[in-house]
């Protein structure tokens, strides 16, 4: 296989796995025979994997519902519920799936206030959903602080959560298995960091968005099916191997004459396949990072059960995309912009400002000021990353093209 064929195979493999995250996948997960939990947001996969439990994520199922045939109609139906028109469509869709009664009854429900008010609201809807009245519930309070006290506070809640899962499902979390999973998780995190480092080469060897694919495989898909967890490690190893070879050969992305590197500081849009390849091929503009392809190495400390839970807590609070950006003060948000632009040699920063993201909409001036102070050309877009009708991919392309041309980058 050529390097490009390997990359294509990895992409195809990832897309196949992602079917487990759709609403159909949620129903399949419930039939796997494992205890089945529905969570409002990120599933902290180390715990369900170590306990051999299947976890489906409402916001992810909601986001997957905004793509594919009939997506616009589904978004409209979700909007018609009347919760809040400008509510993030991934959450709106999750609420719609819930209220439409098309979800299986889980063995347990876990909700959290993280990363935003919208997910907090969805979690409360799940907690108070009448058909799930008898389903055991656990709610996590993610703090906004970044101190060790905050991590210990959240870690203590994880300990209680594990006890609640054990009670609800009969499954046990053993130290031995948790250490095994934590070590594998550290290995995956390390591979993602290696990939991230390799993609900083000029020209960029592989689409940096593959970090998002790997991360979602190792976390979201593995949470739905623990057997995928080790396979995700293998997937990441193959990705790092091929990227290493391309860096050594100094070959860039297939068919791309790299001219511009930019940061897309938000979620990668569900219509991104209509935008990013076109930017690469027509303008040589490579998206170096999005929220989900930017990662920090926060290892799990396997010394003791408490240290593992506290470090899983830290990893969740400081390492989970969106939680990192939306839960903390603007210092984290703005420092990351500067760091990414410097490390990834970005020529520009694009602020998509998804309409449902209250954080980016409230931080756009701070981001702009930060970029200006650091000599980074800044562009504010104002789009909907789930509903392309709000600002079609073609329009986004044209606006970015104009911006790149006006700033002399294209």
Partner 1 sequence: MSEENRSQVLKKFNDYAGKILNPSVENVKSADCRVVGYFCSFIPEELFIAAGLLPFRMRGTGSETTERADEYFTSCNCSFPRHCFNQALTGEFTFLDGLVVGTSCDATRYIYDNWKSSPIKTPFIYLLGYPHVSGVAMANYYRAELAKLKTALEEQFGARITDEKLRSAITLCNETRELQRQLYEMRKSASPPITGSEMVSVMVAGVSMPKDEYNADLKQLIEELEALPATNSTYAARLMVVGSCGDDDILSRLAEEQGALVVTDHTCFGGKLKYGAVDGAASDPLQALAEYQILTRPFCAKVGGAYQLRAKVILDAAKEFGVDGVLGQRLGCCDTWGGELYALKEDLKGAGIPSLMIEREYVPDSEGQLATRVQAFIETVRR
What is the binding site for partner 1 (CB under 8 A)? 81-88, 91, 95, 111, 113, 116-118, 120-125, 127-128, 139-145, 149-150, 153, 156-157, 160, 326, 329-331, 353, 355-359, 361-366, 369, 382
Query: Which one, of 360, 319, 268, 230, lies nearest residue 42 by Cα?
Result: 319
d(CA 295, CA 27): 30
Whole-angstrom CA distances from 334 to 30, 80, 138, 234 are 40, 36, 33, 34
Q: Of the two residues 195 and 291, which places its CB atom closer to partner 1 in the complex? A: 291
Q: Of the two residues 123 and 214, which places its CB atom closer to partner 1 in the complex? A: 123
Min. distance of Cβ 310 from partner 1 in angstroms?
Answer: 14
Q: Of the two residues 347 and 359, which places its CB atom closer to partner 1 in the complex? A: 359
Min. distance of Cβ 231 from partner 1 in angstroms?
Answer: 34
Q: Of the two residues 32 and 83, which places its CB atom closer to partner 1 in the complex? A: 83
3-class state of residue 110 by DSSP? strand
* Phi (first) and psi of residue 33, to 5 degrees: 95, -10
Query: Cα-atom radius of gyration of the chain, to the nearest Å?
Result: 21
Q: Of the two residues 45 and 155, which places its CB atom closer to partner 1 in the complex? A: 155
Long-range contacts of 150-153 (CB under 8 A, 24+ apart): 150/317, 151/310, 151/311, 151/313, 151/314, 151/317, 152/310, 152/313, 153/313
Q: Tell me which residue has tokens 């489906």.
A: 56
Min. distance of Cβ 318 from partner 1 in angstroms?
Answer: 15
Lookup: tokens for 180: 């095994």
d(CA 330, CA 334): 6
Min. distance of Cβ 401 from partner 1 in angstroms?
Answer: 23
Query: Which one, of 12, 386, 9, 17, lies nearest residue 217 by Cα?
Result: 17
Min. distance of Cβ 382 from partner 1 in angstroms?
Answer: 7
Min. distance of Cβ 395 from partner 1 in angstroms?
Answer: 18
Q: Of the two residues 26 and 95, which places its CB atom closer to partner 1 in the complex? A: 95
Q: Of the two residues 4 and 146, which places its CB atom closer to partner 1 in the complex? A: 146
d(CA 19, CA 285): 29
Lookup: tokens for 251: 């070959």
Min. distance of Cβ 64 from partner 1 in angstroms?
Answer: 20
Query: Which one, of 88, 79, 95, lies nearest residue 117 by Cα?
Result: 88
d(CA 52, CA 227): 9
Q: Tell me which residue has tokens 């911006």.
A: 403
- DSSP label at residue 34: S
Min. distance of Cβ 351 from partner 1 in angstroms?
Answer: 10
Min. distance of Cβ 77 from partner 1 in angstroms?
Answer: 15
Q: Tell me which residue has tokens 């959450």.
A: 91
Residues in CB range of 130: below 8 A, 6 or more apart: none
Q: Of the two residues 77 and 86, which places its CB atom closer to partner 1 in the complex? A: 86
Q: Of the two residues 218 and 317, which places its CB atom closer to partner 1 in the complex? A: 317
Q: Of the two residues 2 and 147, which places its CB atom closer to partner 1 in the complex? A: 147
Min. distance of Cβ 35 from partner 1 in angstroms?
Answer: 22
3-class state of residue 381 by DSSP? coil
């Amino acid at each position: 296989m050529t390097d490009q064929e390997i990359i294509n195979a990895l992409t195809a493999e990832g897309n196949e796995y992602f079917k487990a995250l759709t609403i159909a996948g949620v129903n399949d997960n419930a039939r796997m025979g494992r205890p089945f939990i529905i969570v409002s947001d990120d599933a902290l996969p180390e715990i369900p994997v170590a306990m051999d439990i299947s976890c489906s994520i409402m916001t992810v199922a909601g986001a997957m519902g905004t793509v594919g045939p009939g997506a616009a109609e589904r978004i409209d139906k979700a909007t018609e519920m009347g919760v809040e028109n400008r509510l993030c469509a991934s959450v709106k869709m999750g609420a719609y799936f819930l209220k439409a009664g098309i979800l299986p009854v889980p063995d347990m429900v876990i909700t959290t206030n993280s990363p935003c008010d919208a997910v907090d609201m969805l979690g409360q809807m799940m907690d108070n959903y009448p058909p799930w009245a008898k389903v055991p519930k656990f709610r996590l309070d993610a703090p906004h602080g970044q101190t060790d006290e905050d991590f210990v506070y959240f870690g203590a809640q994880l300990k209680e959560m594990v006890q609640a899962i054990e009670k609800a499902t009969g499954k046990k979390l053993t130290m031995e298995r948790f250490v095994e999973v934590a070590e594998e998780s550290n290995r995956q995190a390390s591979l993602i960091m290696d990939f991230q480092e390799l993609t900083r080469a000029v020209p960029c060897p592989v689409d940096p968005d593959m970090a998002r694919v790997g991360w979602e495989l190792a976390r979201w898909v593995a949470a739905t099916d623990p057997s995928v967890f080790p396979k995700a490690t293998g997937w990441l190893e193959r990705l790092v191997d091929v990227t290493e070879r391309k860096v050594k050969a100094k070959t860039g992305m297939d068919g791309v004459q790299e001219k511009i590197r930019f940061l897309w500081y938000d979620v990668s849009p569900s219509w991104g396949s209509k935008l990013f390849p076109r930017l690469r091929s027509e303008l040589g503009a490579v998206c170096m990072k999005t929220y989900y392809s930017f990662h920090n190495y926060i290892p799990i400390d396997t010394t003791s059960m408490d240290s593992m839970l506290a470090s899983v807590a830290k990893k969740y609070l400081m390492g989970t995309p969106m939680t990192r950006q939306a839960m903390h003060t603007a210092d984290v948000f703005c420092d990351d912009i500067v760091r990414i632009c410097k490390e990834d040699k970005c020529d520009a920063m694009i602020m998509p400002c998804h309409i449902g993201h209250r954080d980016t909409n409230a931080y756009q001036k701070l981001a702009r000021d930060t970029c200006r102070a650091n000599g980074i050309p800044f562009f504010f877009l104002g789009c909907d990353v789930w509903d392309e009708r709000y600002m079609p991919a073609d329009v986004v392309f044209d606006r970015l093209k104009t911006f790149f041309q006006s700033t002399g980058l294209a």
